Structure 1
Amino acid sequence: MSCDTHAAAMGDRIRPEAATHVEASALEAIDSSSNPAPPTNGKRKAETELDRDTDERPASGAGAEGEDGVAVQAEGDTNPEGAVKPMSKNELKRLRKQQAYKEFKEDRKAKRKDRRHARQDRKRTEREVKIAEALAAGVDPKLALRPEGEPWRARPVPVAFILDCDFERYMRDPEIVSLSSQVVRSYAQNRKAKYQAHLLVSSWGGKMKTRFETVMQSTHKNWKGVSIVDEDFCEAAKKAHTIMTGPEGGELIDVLKPSQSEFEKSGSGVVRGDILDENTPASELEPEDIDQSIVYLSSESPYTLTRLESNVSYVIGGLVDRNREKGLCYKRAREHKVRTAKLPIGEYMAMQSRYVLTTNQVVEIMAQWLECGDWGEAFLNIIPKRKGGALKQQGGSQADTESLNGGVDEAEGFSMAIETAVGESDDKTEATQKADNPSVISARHEAS
């Protein structure tokens, strides 16, 4: 009896110690999973953080396990029965990524600081060299330090670009982040352009507005020459029309003036900057009571832009949907009875495949056209070379077309890629067909 009593007493004393050990192991496993050791190279790599041997990975549907086989549980995540739900592999990966991002935040900040200082040192050195050369030549250093060419000055024109941000319900959170970056790039490009259109952002609100006010620290409030409105694009267009026809509307540059031939072709005295595609069904024609002061850009439109018009607002749908939704911009324009049009990419560019433009790329292309008045040059300057686009030329050879786009090597081998796809026997025939009939390039916007 005394032995049994002593053994029972020892067992009661050991059980709390064992439970404490298991609990400590579980906490250690959670801490190690949420605070992974940084990689040796100092970079945040998913392969280093997440790759594990097959034996260490939990089975599908099971929670992650610590060193002592204790399942890691998601805090506060319970099933209807009240039991704690195990953390999935994807949740654990996401937790590790977030923790690694926080850990290396200071490292990224230090690297940005080092690059900024290096850039400042380089500019300082170049400035000192220019001053020394000017003094040696007996020239006033102030003249040597003046920037070459005409000094920059704001030159607004009576054209408006409206970014319609009323598509948030069709986008996921990462796509809203991408759209926010595109809006910032659109402002930066239009701001530094030779001729500045009036930029407006409509349907301001939701998650993107919250992101601008929190993560981006309300930097948009310091933007110049931009109007941000809570209403839809129609109300934004009314505000834009008031600005364009007012004293601050800007100068009417030559590219915005219709030519004499356009006046003669119009007959009615109303000169539009678009043309109707052939074989357009009657159902796609514009109604009589359409608003002529607004043009909604959409690849589904039967009208193709030939030039931009003065005192007209061009609406760009702020949509990043990875091409899931079809015809949203065109349908929205038809419902509001406004004009529609598409950029003439197919008339000027031969592409390897269908290409989708981002919001800021559309703004950059139209800003570039305001400067040069040539759609081909605008497309060639803005569309990335790696996409394999080449400028079409009337009567030009394939070699001439390739050379305009930087050659086969720089443009990812436009004709070479076509030959690989169709075979060596009839490669030239297929290449000619693709050049004459390029894929329709959507003006719906996607992150690059």
Structure 2
Amino acid sequence: MSSENGDIDDHEEGRLPSEGSSEADSVVRHPKWRPHHEIPKDDPAFDGLSKRSQKRLLKQRRFEATKDEKRAIEKEKRKLKKRERHEAIVAGLAQPPPKRAKPEEQTPCRVRIAIDCAFDDLMMDKEIKSMLQQITRCHSQNRLTQHPIPFTVTSQDKNTSKIAQGFKSRHDDHSRWAHVKWETRPIEQIFDKDELIYLSADATDVCETLDESKVYVIGGIVDHNRHKLLCENKAKTLGIKSAQLPIGDYIKLNSRKVLTVNHVFEILLRYTETHDWQKAFLAAIPQRKIENGQETEAGLYEQQEEDGGQTGDDLVSPGHEAELSEP
């Protein structure tokens, strides 16, 4: 607002009062507002960096300085939500999680899956981390069923694969996971091309059923759909078949027709149990993705999963990694 002498005050120019002033205490700021941190002039680590790179480095240092405290807070939140969830289950207000099958009672089914992890160079570090979590969820799903699907994780050279290095640092026991094979070679060197079917939303063929003589390939990438036709083009380059799952024939999604690796894995797993695509889709796809309020089995556990950590969908925001769409 202009003053009597015609000058424009700080508020009209869009400037906030200086910190420490009484006027600054009453200013309503955006919830994500953070105080300005100046770049240290005597730190050689910032020399020669662009302003954006300097801000990124400063942000990384702030994260490193506060990550232990944040982890402790998140741990307490998880404990509280776990206790609340347990109380809700005891009171009959929530569905209990499925019980883990005993290893001696499990009989692997004959359908095979391969997760193609040859896309390290196309992912950022946070996307690599998401991929680790999605593969871990595939293993977790196998532990809950009487008939797990054996799956192979390809291109896991510990010297070049970021995913392999991530598993080594975060899940040192991963090499002992049941029904999981870790291969350093790419898919085309492990399997015969005639037995491979690459799952892709851009494929013209539709996967009507699962053939026990085939290996179904899921593209192991999280890229927020930056790389169009990635899986379909790779299938053509390798000279192998591609197909999409018949989601549009059974349900309608209210969001992008892209699912995470662990969701695709669970769809295939549920189909081997029921031989019913609709039941498989409704069991694996989160409730929030289903149109017209169709009740899903996944919806019963979705909130519980989020309470204990991120679901596969939230981890990728969602991405391009496992491409499935309506025909």
Q: Could you say whether these structures have the same fold, taking a TM-score greater than 0.5 normalized by the shorter chain as the test?
A: yes
Taking the aligned partners of 1:359 and 1:217, their CA distance within structure 2 comes to 18
- Residues 87 and 294 (structure 1 numbering): CA distance in 2 closer, same or farther, change over 3 Å? closer
Secondary structure in structure 1 of the residue aligned to 2:111: strand
Q: Which residue of 2 aligns with 1:10?
A: none
Does residue 51 of the first structure (1) align with residue 51 of the second (2)? no
- Whether the 8 Å contact between 1:203 and 1:229 is mirrored in structure 2 is yes
Letter in 1 for 2:162: K
1:26-71 CA-to-partner distances (Å, cap 9, x unmatched) read: xxxxxxxxxxxxxxxxxxxx958x612xxxx37xxxx44xxxxxx5
Q: Which residue of 2 aligns with 1:95?
A: 61
Taking the aligned partners of 1:192 and 1:233, their CA distance within structure 2 comes to 27
Does residue 220 of the first structure (1) align with residue 174 of the second (2)? yes
- TM alignment of 1:66-145, pairs within 5 A: 71-79=40-48, 88-108=54-74
Q: 1:445 aligns with which of 304, 319, 322?
A: 322
- Residues 193 and 389 (structure 1 numbering): CA distance in 2 closer, same or farther, change over 3 Å? farther
State TM-score, norm by structure 2. Answer: 0.68
Taking the aligned partners of 2:150 and 2:62, their CA distance within structure 1 comes to 44
- Whether the 8 Å contact between 1:348 and 1:375 is mirrored in structure 2 is yes
Letter in 2 for 1:98: E
Taking the aligned partners of 1:186 and 1:386, their CA distance within structure 2 comes to 20
In structure 2, stretches of 5+ residues that fail to align are: 1-29, 92-97, 301-318
- Whether the 8 Å contact between 1:161 and 1:315 is mirrored in structure 2 is yes
- Whether the 8 Å contact between 2:115 and 2:217 is mirrored in structure 1 is yes
Taking the aligned partners of 1:353 and 1:105, their CA distance within structure 2 comes to 32
Q: Which residue of 2 aligns with 1:344?
A: 246
- Whether the 8 Å contact between 1:297 and 1:314 is mirrored in structure 2 is yes
In structure 1, stretches of 5+ residues that fail to align are: 1-45, 65-70, 127-146, 239-290, 391-401, 411-441
State TM-score, norm by structure 1. Answer: 0.51
- RMSD between superposed Cα atoms in Å: 3.6
Taking the aligned partners of 1:89 and 1:47, their CA distance within structure 2 comes to 20
Letter in 2 for 1:445: A
Q: 2:112 aligns with which of 156, 160, 177?
A: 160
Once the two structures are TM-superposed, the CA of residue 353 in structure 1 deviates from its matched residue by: 3.6
**Number of residues paired by the alignment?**
259
Q: Which residue of 2 aligns with 1:293?
A: 195
Taking the aligned partners of 1:171 and 1:297, their CA distance within structure 2 comes to 20
- TM alignment of 1:344-363, pairs within 5 A: 344-363=246-265
- Residues 302 and 443 (structure 1 numbering): CA distance in 2 closer, same or farther, change over 3 Å? farther
Percent of pairs identical after alignment? 29
- Whether the 8 Å contact between 1:159 and 1:312 is mirrored in structure 2 is yes
Secondary structure in structure 2 of the residue aligned to 1:196: coil
Q: Which residue of 2 aligns with 1:405?
A: 295
Taking the aligned partners of 2:243 and 2:189, their CA distance within structure 1 comes to 20
Q: Which residue of 2 aligns with 1:199?
A: 151
- Whether the 8 Å contact between 1:361 and 1:383 is mirrored in structure 2 is yes
- Residues 75 and 47 (structure 1 numbering): CA distance in 2 closer, same or farther, change over 3 Å? farther
- Whether the 8 Å contact between 1:298 and 1:443 is mirrored in structure 2 is no
Taking the aligned partners of 1:362 and 1:157, their CA distance within structure 2 comes to 17
- Residues 217 and 374 (structure 1 numbering): CA distance in 2 closer, same or farther, change over 3 Å? closer
- Residues 78 and 339 (structure 1 numbering): CA distance in 2 closer, same or farther, change over 3 Å? same
Larger fraction in strand: 1
- Residues 365 and 88 (structure 1 numbering): CA distance in 2 closer, same or farther, change over 3 Å? same
Once the two structures are TM-superposed, the CA of residue 178 in structure 1 deviates from its matched residue by: 0.4
- Whether the 8 Å contact between 1:72 and 1:86 is mirrored in structure 2 is no
Once the two structures are TM-superposed, the CA of residue 235 in structure 1 deviates from its matched residue by: 2.9
